[in-house]
Amino acid sequence: MSNAPSTPHQHTGHNPPTGMDHGAMMHGHSSKMDMGGHNHHAMMIADFKKRFYVVLALTVPIMLLSPMIQHFMGVSWQFTGSSYILFALSSVVFVYGGWPFLTGWLDEIKAKNPGMMFLIGFAITVAYAYSAAIVFGLQGMDFFWELDTLILIMLLGHWIEMKSVAGASKELDLLVQLMPSDAHLVTNNVTHDVKTDTLKVDDVILTKPGEKVAADGVIVDGESYLNESMLTGESTPVKKTKGDKVIAGSINGNGSFNVKVSHSAKDSYLSQVVKLVDDAQKSKSQTQLLADRAAKWLTIIALLTGIATFLYWYLTGQTFAFAMERMVTVIVICCPHALGLAVPLVVAKSTALSAKHGLLIKNRTAFENSRKITTVVFDKTGTLTIGKFEVSKIISLHSDVDDKEILRISSALEQKSEHPIATGILQKVKELNIAIPTAENFKALTGQGVEATVEGKEVRVVSPGYLKENNLNVPDSYQSDETETVVFVIIDNQLAGYIALSDQIRPESAGAIQTLSENHIKSILLTGDNAKVAESVSKTLGMESFIAEVLPHQKLEKIKELQAHGEFVAMTGDGVNDAPALAQADIGIAVGSGSDIAAETAGIVLVNSNPKDIVNLILFGKATYKKMIQNLAWATGYNVIALPLAAGVLYHQGILLSPAAGAVLMTVSTVVVAINASLLKVKV
The catalytic residue positions are: 379
Question: What are the start-end ranges of the H helices in 169-285?
Answer: 170-177, 229-232, 269-282
Decide: 310 and 327 in contact? Cβ < 8 Å. yes
Nearest to 238 by CA among 219, 253, 257: 253
Nearest to 155 by CA among 667, 569, 668: 667
- SS3 state of residue 388: strand
Residues 6+ apart with CB under 8 A from 318: none
Nearest to 19 by CA among 439, 301, 253: 301
DSSP assignment of 116-178 equals HHHHHHHHHHHHHHHHHHHHTT-SS---HHHHHHHHHHHHHHHHHHHHHHHHHTHHHHHHHHT
Long-range contacts of 321-327 (CB under 8 A, 24+ apart): 321/130, 321/140, 321/141, 321/143, 324/126, 324/127, 324/130, 324/143, 325/143, 325/146, 325/658, 325/659, 326/646, 326/647, 326/648, 327/123, 327/126
Query: Which residue type, as a one-letter code, is found at position 454?
Result: V
Question: 414-447 as b/e, with b when 16 or more CB fall inside 10 Å?
Answer: bbebeeebbbbbbebbeeeeeebeebeebeeeee
Residues 6+ apart with CB under 8 A from 129: none
Decide: 16 and 281 in contact? Cβ < 8 Å. no
Rounded Cα gap, residues 489 and 499, in angstroms:
8
- SS3 state of residue 285: coil
SS3 per residue for 341-367 = HHHHHHHHHHHHHHHHCCEEECCHHHH
Rounded Cα gap, residues 557 and 565, in angstroms:
13
Nearest to 179 by CA among 230, 121, 124: 230
Rounded Cα gap, residues 336 and 341, in angstroms:
9
* Cα-based distances in Å from 676 to 283, 286, 496, 616: 21, 20, 68, 20
DSSP assignment of 46-70 equals HHHHHHHHHHHHHHHHHHHH-HHHH
DSSP, res 236: S
Nearest to 447 by CA among 358, 552, 571, 304: 552
Q: 488: which strand partners? A: 462, 498
Decide: 380 and 525 in contact? Cβ < 8 Å. yes
74 burial via Cβ count (<10 Å: 0-12, 13-18, 19+): exposed
Rounded Cα gap, residues 377 and 550, in angstroms:
13
Nearest to 1 by CA among 355, 502, 337: 337
Decide: 90 and 62 in contact? Cβ < 8 Å. yes
DSSP assignment of 469-531 equals HTTPPPPTT----TTEEEEEEEETTEEEEEEEEEEEEPTTHHHHHHHHHHTT-EEEEE-SS-H
Cα 268 → chain centroid: 18
Rounded Cα gap, residues 604 and 365, in angstroms:
10
Phi and psi torsions of 192, nearest 5°: -140, 150
